Amino acid sequence: MTAPLTQTPRYPFWPIAKDRGFTLPGDARVGLIVYLNVEHFPIDVPAPAHAIYPGTTHMVPDILNYGWRDYGNRVGLWRMMELFGDVGIRPSVNLHADVCHEYPELIEAGEALGWEWIAQSHTAGAILTAMPEDRAREIIEGSVGIIEQATGRRPKGWMGSHLAETPETPDLLAEAGIEYCSDYACDDQPFAMRVRSGSLISMPYALEANDVPGVLGKGLTAQDFAQLLIDQFDELYEEGAAIPRVMPVSLHPFISGHAFRTRHLRRAFRHIVGHDGIWIGTCGELNEWYRRTRGADPERPQQERRA
């Protein structure tokens, strides 16, 4: 009888207290990565689990929840563009491929600002879990291809809708040329994953410093959420004097793009970027840095640092 799995076979257990030899550019104490989720929610399917009002999620069309989300692309995203420009942040964009043809103006605006595109399936409904391997491969390659066609660049990163995977997903990502994945929100540093061929880096992602579970799940006010980000940074900044940390923040325009929340986000980000000893960048930049300085072997977390 085969023993049940108690840990993921995708990476070894290496606690952060063990010296992994990880550094940040400029020997920074904290690296800030801001994920911006730019998504398409079709009007002719039931709303996903997170909704501003659950009472209408069984309706098709669900005009109430659709309108709330559509505000994010029509208004909230543009407000957040100004916020990021204000505080000097270039977001890592988790992009639904359907945005490329549904809202081409968003792609055009992001391209002008030099945003980094991370593939995130086609829509919120394209969830990989329980799909056969061939269908999951088709979803991955199809969404990556659409983004490449729209932007002229093939995405190197992936985040699954709802962070959902099949057991084979990391292998399929590496097979498709994806270099990093943000599905595993289990660490304050990047780390290499085990895949059948090629290589794949797990990039830190936020489940707590994230406006969906924070605002919708826990009912945090705009002030509360901003203070959460400040407290998270302040603690990581102290810890980062000994072991450098990455602070991911995950935002959604239909939540954080409302004016009263953006005002408090600006306060939090100004607090963070006002410190010395921080690095602000994208997942792609951190992926390149990690591969250059640490390599991509999941079995050698303490390999010698390279210049």
Q: Name beta bridge partners: 279.
A: 31
Whether 132 and 91 have beta carbons less than 8 Å apart is answered as no
Mean pLDDT of all residues in 130-154: 93
> Who contacts 112 (Cβ-Cβ below 8 Å, separation ≥6)?
none
Mean pLDDT of all residues in 85-99: 97
Residue boundaries of the structural domains of the chain: 25-294
The β-bridge relationship of strands 245-251 and 278-280 is unpaired
pLDDT band, very low/low/confident/very high, at 42 (cuts 50, 70, 90): confident
pLDDT at 305: 42
Cα–Cα distance, 21 to 85 (Å, whole number): 33
Q: Please tell me the least confidently modeled range out of 42-56, 166-180, 285-299.
A: 42-56
Neighbours of 277 (CB within 10 A): 14
Is the model's pLDDT at 131 over the cut of 90? no
Is the model's pLDDT at 160 over the cut of 70? yes
Tell me the residue type at 205: Y
Q: Name beta bridge partners: 116.
A: 92
Mean pLDDT of all residues in 75-83: 98
- CA dihedral for 294, 300, 302, 304, sign (positive or negative): negative
Is the model's pLDDT at 306 over the cut of 60? no
Mean pLDDT of all residues in 151-156: 96
The phi, psi pair for 110, rounded to 5°, reads -65, -40
> H helices within 56-102, ranges in order?
63-71, 77-87, 99-102
Q: Please tell me the least confidently modeled range out of 45-59, 117-131, 153-167.
A: 45-59
The H or E element that residue 151 is part of is helix 133-151
* Residue that wins the pLDDT comparison between 122 and 178: 178
Mean pLDDT of all residues in 91-104: 97
pLDDT band, very low/low/confident/very high, at 16 (cuts 50, 70, 90): very high
How many angstroms separate the Cα of 68 from the Cα of each of 30, 73, 113, 217, 260? 34, 10, 25, 16, 15
pLDDT at 1: 52
Cα–Cα distance, 212 to 151 (Å, whole number): 28
pLDDT at 304: 44
Q: How do residues 259-289 score in pLDDT, each as one tens digit?
A: 999 999 999 999 999 999 999 999 999 999 9
Is the model's pLDDT at 257 over the cut of 80? yes
pLDDT at 274: 97
- The two three-digit tokens of residue 197, written as one number: 């061929």
Q: Please tell me the least confidently modeled range out of 49-63, 138-152, 195-209.
A: 49-63
Is the model's pLDDT at 112 over the cut of 70? yes
Q: Please tell me the least confidently modeled range out of 49-53, 107-111, 132-136, 248-252.
A: 49-53
pLDDT at 47: 66
Is the model's pLDDT at 240 over the cut of 60? yes
Whether 287 and 156 have beta carbons less than 8 Å apart is answered as yes
- List the one residue out of 231, 294, 234 whose CA is nearest residue 24: 294
The H or E element that residue 278 is part of is strand 278-280
- List the one residue out of 83, 47, 16, 31 whose CA is nearest residue 236: 31
Whether 152 and 111 have beta carbons less than 8 Å apart is answered as no
Mean pLDDT rounded to a whole number for the chain: 92
Is the model's pLDDT at 88 over the cut of 70? yes
25-294: which CATH architecture? Alpha-Beta Barrel (3.20)
pLDDT at 301: 60
